[in-house]
Structure 1
Amino acid sequence: MLETVLFSDKYRSLIPLVRRTGLIFRLVYITTVHPDINVARVRRRVLAGGHDVPEDKIHERWTRSMDNLAGFAERADRLIVVDNSGQEPVMLALRHLEGALEIHDVDHPASDRLRSLRNTVRLP
């Protein structure tokens, strides 16, 4: 398991290695509809004693992560993309093992970036 904010595509080269060892590349991508939501959450975390992240970094990471999403999603054997902006999570995209990518028609930046991949099978 690897946790990342997908700020860069440096982990993309690991995908073929994962497959050569017989493993499945699963991507669980959890996002928000806007980076200001993340800024507010970090502020609450800091008030509770947690670590801070500069606001400009939060915005930059959110945007770069969104920009990298499609490149990883098209290679994922299994994929779940979830928006956790509100009280309840909202499913944005799903791919079952060896299935087509299903994009749920939700007005969301992640959905917008994935629409070109709708009903495609994964890349090697």
Structure 2
Amino acid sequence: MKVYFGIKYYEDCRNRLIIEQICAILENYGYEMSCVIRDMEKWGAEEFPPDELMKATFEEIDSSNIVMLDLSEKGVGLGIEAGYAYAKGIPVVAIAKKGSDISNTMLGIANQVIIYEKLEDIEKMFFG
């Protein structure tokens, strides 16, 4: 099963460790993970024009069974990814650190919402 993972983008990849840890949790359960900054942009080593980047992002979402978005920090791209997945009928799983401000719109389209204090909580709540 393939999971598209989205998180707020930072040019300096300051959230790389979080991305790697979340992807590792799901990969340990046999999920194939797709994350644009990690897989396509190679942590900033490769750049793409915005239209190519969005086309590739939508293709990755189209080929995924689940879209998991970390909404601990807001980002326009996350809203675009969530709305696209929802419109395509692809289940959206929202995850966020406890105390995060998640919009009602995102809550309304998410099939599952996981609030975590530690990243290990994601494993417990997602896989029970």
How does the TM-score come out when normalised to structure 2? 0.31
Greater fraction helix: 2
How does the TM-score come out when normalised to structure 1? 0.32
